[in-house]
A and B are shown apart, each in its own frame.
Chain A
Amino acid sequence: MIRPAAAEGAGETAGADVGGRQRQSARLAELLDRSARGQEAAFADLYDLTSARIYGVVLKVLRAPDLAAEVTQEVYVEIWRQASRFSAERGNVMAWMATIAHRRAVDRVRSAVSETRRDTDWGRLDADTPHDQVWETLEHRLDTERVRKGMDSLTVIQREAVTLAYFGGYTHREVAGLLKLPLGTVKTRIRDGLIGLRDALGVEA
């Protein structure tokens, strides 16, 4: 996919990261596109490039590794099924996948019925296989650092409100209870926080 905007974007807030992010974004879009056509190898590549972040966010919300693995599996099967429905107008592939993953994790947290079915004992299998190292590349460390700096630029309350809502999977009413703040304040802090983070990261929709 050609993105003639890459060079122009590099001069703005996010600096040289933009080019790399757009390349990454274009790569994911290509893999998703091929997945929509039933190419399992492309989907395997897509999994390798994204699974640490998708599993990671699901795990943050659910905390239980077994449950997180189960939900992550549902998420990827859903992504595979829905691949053709991804619309570039709605954003980039990673944001789309993260939205699906987060929504499903939160649904699981909030559903009164706790499913206990386990197809696999993930913990046991864990020990036998070497870990994939893809998430530890230099580029990924830089991305992590960039986002961490963005979070550091927020006020303490903004950061806590965003973190509890997104990674904690709490509703804004619950966040208000946890932070002992009025609901209106929490709503505003979550939004302010996301605006601050958006600007710090140079995100454009």
Chain B
Amino acid sequence: MSERDHGLHAMVGAYVADALDDDDREMFEEHLSGCESCRRESAEFAETLGELTWLAQTPPPPALRSSILAEIATVRPLPPEHPVEEPMETTVQRPWPAEVPPVAPDGDPTHYTSGATDELTARRQRRLRRAMIGLVAAALVLVVGLGGWVVTLVNDQRNQQVAEQQITDLLTAPDAKIYASQLDGANVSYVISEERNKAVFLGDDLQSPGSDKVYQLWTIQGQDPTSQGLVTGSGSVTHWFDAPVDGAQVMAVTVEPAGGSPSPTTTPLAVVEL
């Protein structure tokens, strides 16, 4: 870690407490966009300061309540940033040949289990699992239809016959569902078929998570995360889930050290509940 980076890491507290002036804030935000640990810490600090407001509580002037309620009655709430649609059964438009011979994705299912080696790891894993489950309980699952880009993605790969056939095969499964989400600003989708017991992760314009880091894919059943492998490459990426997906309740991605981790060690992203 360079000295400059070290100085920037130390700013995270002042940043969350709104104690940076504009120049410092700009500099720190630039750092934050590429620093997973600062992002996690700033989220924790925001929660902490939310708790600190207990010490400030003061009854507001009673007239404020009616004044606010009168004003909001005249203000239209904004729509959600990411409207939600029903999961689309892929019985619609198929811009590819209907009779493509099914090609099974070659898979060597690797089933990682979460072997906690010490209490600290175990606690951290409990916390992460809890975060994942809490997120799923609360998160809006963004489910969109086939949409433009998956089709484009599939079309773009026409020269990669095998890849296309595999995806086509999955997309044409009677029970195939597509779940779209966001991963660090990139559009990503999961296509899953329980009948075929397979799923694929598609990323569009995916950025690298940083040097010595990798995106790792997970399914979760109950409390147990199963690694579905590492997502390598950037731009338009396709990654078949390593392990069977039957029983999976959640799909998610975490940023892990190069080589991956036996169980998630960072806040799950692109969380989708099945």
Contacts and interface: CB of A to CB of B under 8 A. Distances in A.
A5 B133 contact: yes
B115 interface: no
Interface string A181-205: 0001011101111110110010111
B10 A98 contact: no
A76 B139 CA distance: 23
A23 interface: no
Interface string A38-77: 1010011001100111111101100001000100110011
Given A91-B43, A148-B55, A205-B43, A172 B68 contact: no
A166 B47 contact: no
A159 to B, nearest CB: 11
B58 A55 contact: yes
Contact of B44 (A35, A125, A171, A204): A204
B64 interface: yes
Interface stretch (B12-20, B105-113, B192-200, B224-232): B12-20
B69 A47 contact: yes
Of residues A36, A73, A131, which shows the largest number of chain B Cβ atoms within 10 Å of its Cβ? A73
A99 B77 CA distance: 19
Contact of B59 (A84, A119, A135, A170): A135
Contacts of A166: 17-19, 49, 52
Contacts of A3: 133-134, 137
A112 B138 CA distance: 40
Contacts of B267: 89, 205
A103 B21 CA distance: 12
Contact of A204 (B50, B68, B130): B130
A157 interface: no
Contacts, number: 252
Interface in A83-98: 83-85, 87-92, 94-98
A82 interface: yes
Given A69-B64, A122-B61, A140 B54 contact: yes
Nearest to B61: A122
Interface string A107-142: 000000000000110110110011110010000100
B151 interface: no
B73 interface: yes
Interface in B144-158: none
A177 to B, nearest CB: 12
A198 B54 contact: no
A80 B16 contact: no
B77 A190 contact: no
B139 A99 contact: no
Contacts of A55: 58-60, 64
Interface stretch (B78-86, B165-173, B255-263): B78-86
Contacts of A35: 77
B47 A173 contact: no
A103 to B, nearest CB: 6
Interface in B1-39: 7, 10-14, 16-21, 24
Given A8-B126, A52-B59, A94-B53, A47 B68 contact: yes
B75 interface: yes
A147 interface: yes
B20 A72 contact: no
Given A47-B65, A98-B49, A188 B10 contact: yes
B72 interface: yes
21 contacts: A5-B129, A8-B126, A35-B77, A56-B56, A69-B61, A73-B67, A82-B77, A83-B78, A85-B81, A88-B139, A94-B53, A131-B62, A144-B55, A166-B17, A172-B11, A186-B14, A187-B13, A191-B11, A203-B44, A205-B40, A205-B43
Interface of B: 7, 10-14, 16-21, 24, 40, 43-65, 67-69, 71-73, 75-81, 123, 126-127, 129-131, 133-135, 137-139, 267, 271
Interface of A: 1-5, 8-9, 12, 29, 35-38, 40, 43-44, 47-48, 51-57, 59-60, 65, 69, 72-73, 76-77, 80-85, 87-92, 94-99, 102-103, 106, 119-120, 122-123, 125-126, 129-132, 135, 140, 143-144, 146-148, 150-151, 162, 165-167, 169-173, 175, 184, 186-188, 190-195, 197-198, 201, 203-205
